[in-house]
Amino acid sequence: MLSAVDMSERVRSGENCEEILHEIYERIRSSELNCYITLNDKALDEAVQIDRREGGKSGCGKLLGVPVAVKDCISTRGIRTTCASRILNDYVPPFDATVVAALREEGAIIVGKTNMDEFCMGSTTETSYFGPTLNPHDTSRVPGGSSGGSAAAIAAGETIIALGSDTGGSIRCPAAFCGVVGLKPTYGLVSRYGLIAYANSLEQIGPMASSVRDVALLLDVISLKDRRDSTQVKLPPSDARTNFNADSVLGMSGDDAISSLKGLRIGVPAEFVHGISKDVERAFWSAIHALEDEGASYEEMHMDTMKYALAAYYIIAMSEASSNLARYDGLRYGLRLNRDDDWHTTFSRIRGEGFGEEVKRRIILGTFALSAGYYGRYYLKALKVRTLVKREFESAFRKYDVLATPTMPMTPFRLGERIKDPLSLYLVDVNTVPINLAGVPAISIPCALSPLPVGMQLIASHFEEEKLLKVALACENLMNAHFL
């Protein structure tokens, strides 16, 4: 499969875009993976239009003709957007999310909307109303979640690049489980306008692809300023981090990237390595030692607040979810049942039948945490822990250039193995949720693909995506040469 960088260059040079897109749609239609909820029925027409513009030569978009999959919680004008929930089964947004408008502006073609855990609540893509997505490496196993459809589509060649969203690991988890690359940007870098909210203070839209270069290119397209998003950070123009520019990453050769590892200081928090499976441990340390052989240095260190991070995350996330999902009453939009009773009965029936088990569980837990008598005991205390987690990350980055951890504590587990045990499922996120609490950027790259994928997570300080991607590119080249 072509990379996004290569395909956009070839389309501009006159290569047929329609043929490539047709091949992708044939692959989707014959697939058993269930990566997509809705396909874009206008995509092939868009490809034909690009080809008619003298082979695309008149186009100058960075993603001209590149097929992109969009997670089904991101608004797409005229294309059904369900959040993988029955309650939004027939919802067609009248507007594009800012990131989708940016994709269209740069000439990308939206293939369709990818499957996900319902309202992003899960780590396996099993809670979807439309059925689970399967892992392309082993169809008896989960692809991770909640952006499992996006990751599986990339791994299976059913798209070239994709958008996901990450509230507590929802990009990095499926990237690790499917053996692809996924980046959670700094909170406030990418516009959230048009993202259907789960937990406003935690989630970010981010790029997913089969390579670091494609992730850098996609991030470059979507990280534009947006006055409609009040959560976007407004850095002063004098700050070098005001805009992310992919050119410095795309312009690096493999050898240059690897040579840049000399002198790199890596911190390995012991709390992220403790208790992981043997397969993951072996792959992770092999990758760290390979980096050391190229001149990087690593040091095991401790982050004491991490033992509180998972509990604090779930209190905050569920509390925000209970507030955000209160809007789905079936009276203004969404699911509407045939029979109406009094308001309370109708409201309860619609939400009872429209939401799945996991969503209802999180709404109830979040409502409890925000209720009188418990708000201070749980929610406010979780916010204080969040501040401590953020400060500890800031302290770590005064000593280290990046932190490195396993993305997930285990390899992909089997379908149905954990879905009936919520506590066990929540513990899967132990290595990813602290990053969302701190708001820092993190990327998952493959460090092993056999017998099952293993991801390594690299973490940098706020708005240091350029540094993070350069290190990830070096690691990718090194892993390709030695392990993959």
pLDDT tens over the chain, length 484 residues:
789 999 999 898 888 899 999 999 999 999 999 999 999 999 999 999 998 875 545 567 999 999 999 999 999 999 999 999 999 999 999 999 999 999 999 999 999 999 999 999 999 999 999 999 999 999 999 999 999 999 999 999 999 999 999 999 999 999 999 999 999 999 999 999 999 999 999 999 999 999 999 999 999 999 999 999 999 988 776 665 656 778 889 888 888 888 989 999 999 999 999 999 999 999 999 999 999 999 999 999 999 999 999 999 999 999 999 999 999 988 777 888 877 788 888 889 999 999 999 999 999 999 999 998 899 999 999 999 999 999 999 999 999 999 999 999 999 999 999 999 999 999 999 999 999 999 999 999 999 987 899 999 999 999 999 999 999 999 999 988 766 5
**CA 19 remoteness from chain centre:** 28
Residue 56: predicted pLDDT: 44
State the amino acid at position 219 in one-letter form.
L
Spot the catalytic one: 75, 170, 223, 322. 170
Phi/psi for 445 (5° steps) reads -125, 150
Question: Which letter, b or e, does each residue of 57-77 get, where b requires 16 or more Cβ atoms within 10 Å of its Cβ?
Answer: eebebbbbbbbbbbbbbbbbe
CA nearest neighbour of 179 among 452, 474, 482? 452
Under 8 Å between Cβ of 96 and 194: yes
Please tell me the distance from the alpha carbon of residue 253 to that of residue 262, in angstroms, as a whole number.
15
CA nearest neighbour of 178 among 444, 458, 481? 444
**Annotation says 238 is catalytic:** no
Helices (H) and strands (E) in the chain, counts: 18, 11
Residue 403: predicted pLDDT: 98
**Annotation says 201 is catalytic:** no
Spot the catalytic one: 85, 128, 146, 319. 146
CA nearest neighbour of 368 among 328, 315, 437, 310? 315
Residue 233: predicted pLDDT: 87
Residue 245: predicted pLDDT: 78
Spot the catalytic one: 8, 62, 71, 128. 71
Residue 243: predicted pLDDT: 65
Q: Strand pairing partners for 39?
A: 112
Residue 484: predicted pLDDT: 59
Under 8 Å between Cβ of 181 and 412: no
Task: Lay out the sheet containing 204-209: strands in order across.
Answer: 36-39, 109-114, 67-71, 161-166, 204-209, 181-184, 442-448, 454-459, 402-406, 265-269, 297-301
**Annotation says 371 is catalytic:** no
Residue 241: predicted pLDDT: 62
Give DSSP secondary structure letters for 450-474: SSS-EEEEEE-STT-HHHHHHHHHH
Residue 341: predicted pLDDT: 82
What domains can be seen in the chain, in order of their start residue? 4-252 (3.90.1300.10)
Q: Strand pairing partners for 405?
A: 457
Cα dihedral value 207, 434, 418, 87, nearest 10: -60
Residue 244 DSSP SS3: coil
